Amino acid sequence: MSGRDGDTAARRGGGRRAALGGIRDPFAPWAAPGAEPLVRFESVVKRYGAQTAVDGVSLDIYPGEFFALLGPSGCGKTTLMRLLAGFETPDEGRVLLSGEDLAGRPPHKRPVNMMFQSYALFPHLSVADNIAFGLKQEGMGKAERDVRVEEMLALVKLEDFARRKPAQLSGGQKQRVALARALAKRPSMLLLDEPLAALDKKLREETQFELMRIQQALGTTFLMVTHDQEEAMVLADRIGVMQAGRIVQVGRPMEVYEAPASRYVADFLGDVNLFEAQVASVEAPHARLTAEEAPGGFRVVDEDCPAPGATVWLAVRPEKLRLSLDAPAGNPENTLAGTVWDIAYTGDWTNFIIALPNGRHIRAAQANANRRVARPIGCDDTVWVCFDPDAGVVLTQ
């Protein structure tokens, strides 16, 4: 079920990419003809008693990808990762690595390594011994091991900390040791469980770029679990959005943000204003919608719009709304009247909350592009909100 959703979502996203005007990024192993996935989840189900943690997930992850599983806590994303690491066994379906079924293979015999959310560094071992732990299990000789440990320490820039114990490291240093330890065996795939959750904001941003640098330097396939949409957008080549044990959309960060498959996805990734509307007419690539809140109706660019008469939702992101104090002439499309209910200045952006005549609140955001420009819009002002035809996206679910 969700697998099919994922496929259609990916197709929809793929079909729209030209219209979205994405960043030029030739890296798309999932789109290459005849590409073999590194990891394949086949209709995987995992239950805990009466609860279904993973509910029929089918997903392919390709070599060299940085894939992020994104969802709120309890959506099954960590369980999915633990199924791959071997800490859980699926109740139904299969997990394949390079085409081989992993069923019955214990964690210590799987060529994937995991970076734990709590880092799980061995407190009785030094940094170097922590990194060497997996190599020792492999039976690698001491000389070779030392070289590899040096290499890993250099990769995470901790050369001077080899002899320290984990208790003597800061949170960011521990995170890097955990990363080096998980990468030391050169796994075919690295699993990252909320890798940055324990770091403060500034460090998190630095570490994001560090993770990307390391992933690109090694070419290892990364699978990350996170509840932080910004983290997923910055790091991942593709994002799989999860909801209640299912994958509801898979796509590039821009696809899931600009062309969400559902109201759930639109709302989970960033802020969104949703308007319930009826399809009035479809003249590809444009569609006209009628809605209670917009006297002039909506006109949007959407190639997959359902037939006239259907009830849909129009999703428009706050940063795509424009505000004006001047009343427009006539009764134009994509325009709503309202009063400013609250203003939040956050430095880079100013967020407006606008009360519509029917009492609903919508959000608009404006970049603060200049320092000293007058900001004429104040609280309780009557404003007109409008947006471009390709700013909104029509959602059917």
Write down the least CB distance from residue 32 to another protein, Å.
30
Instruction: Say how many Å lie between the first and final Cα of the chain, rounded.
Output: 15
Write down the least CB distance from residue 171 to another protein, Å.
16
Cα–Cα distances in angstroms (integers) from residue 252 to residues 65, 178, 241, in the given order: 11, 27, 11
Interatomic CA distance for residues 215 and 228, integer angstroms: 19
Ranges of H-type helices in 287-353? none
What share of residues in the chain are helix, strand, coil (percent, to 5)?
30, 30, 40
Q: Which is nearer to another protein, 224 or 364 (CB)?
A: 224
Tell me the site size for another protein, rule CB under 8 A: 26
Q: Which is nearer to another protein, 109 or 371 (CB)?
A: 109
Contact (CB, 8 A) for 235 and 68: yes
Q: Per residue in 162-198, is it b (16+ CB within 10 Å) or e — as a string?
A: beebbeebeebbbbbbbbbbbbbbebbbbbbbbbbee
ω into 33 cis (within 30 of 0): no
Binding mask 60-99 for another protein (x = CB under 8 A): -------------------------xxx------------
The SS3 of residue 372 is coil
Residues in region 97-136 near another protein by CB under 8 A: 106-109, 112-114, 116, 118, 120-124, 133-134
Write down the least CB distance from residue 138 to another protein, Å.
6
Write down the least CB distance from residue 151 to another protein, Å.
17
Interatomic CA distance for residues 223 and 233, integer angstroms: 13
Write down the least CB distance from residue 125 to another protein, Å.
8
Nearest to 256 by CA among 267, 65, 3: 267
Q: Which is nearer to another protein, 124 or 163 (CB)?
A: 124
Per CB under 8 A, does 6 bind another protein?
Answer: no
Q: Which is nearer to another protein, 167 or 374 (CB)?
A: 167
Binding mask 177-206 for another protein (x = CB under 8 A): ----xx--x---------------------
Q: What is the DSSP string of 226-265?
A: ES-HHHHHHH-SEEEEEETTEEEEEE-HHHHHHS-SSHHH
Q: Which is nearer to another protein, 26 or 106 (CB)?
A: 106
Binding residue (CB under 8 A) for another protein from 47, 164, 165, 263:
165
Q: Which is nearer to another protein, 117 or 396 (CB)?
A: 117
Q: Which is nearer to another protein, 182 or 224 (CB)?
A: 182
Q: Which is nearer to another protein, 87 or 345 (CB)?
A: 87
Nearest to 28 by CA among 252, 288, 245: 252
Residues in contact with another protein by the rule CB under 8 A: 85-87, 106-109, 112-114, 116, 118, 120-124, 133-134, 137-138, 165, 167, 181-182, 185
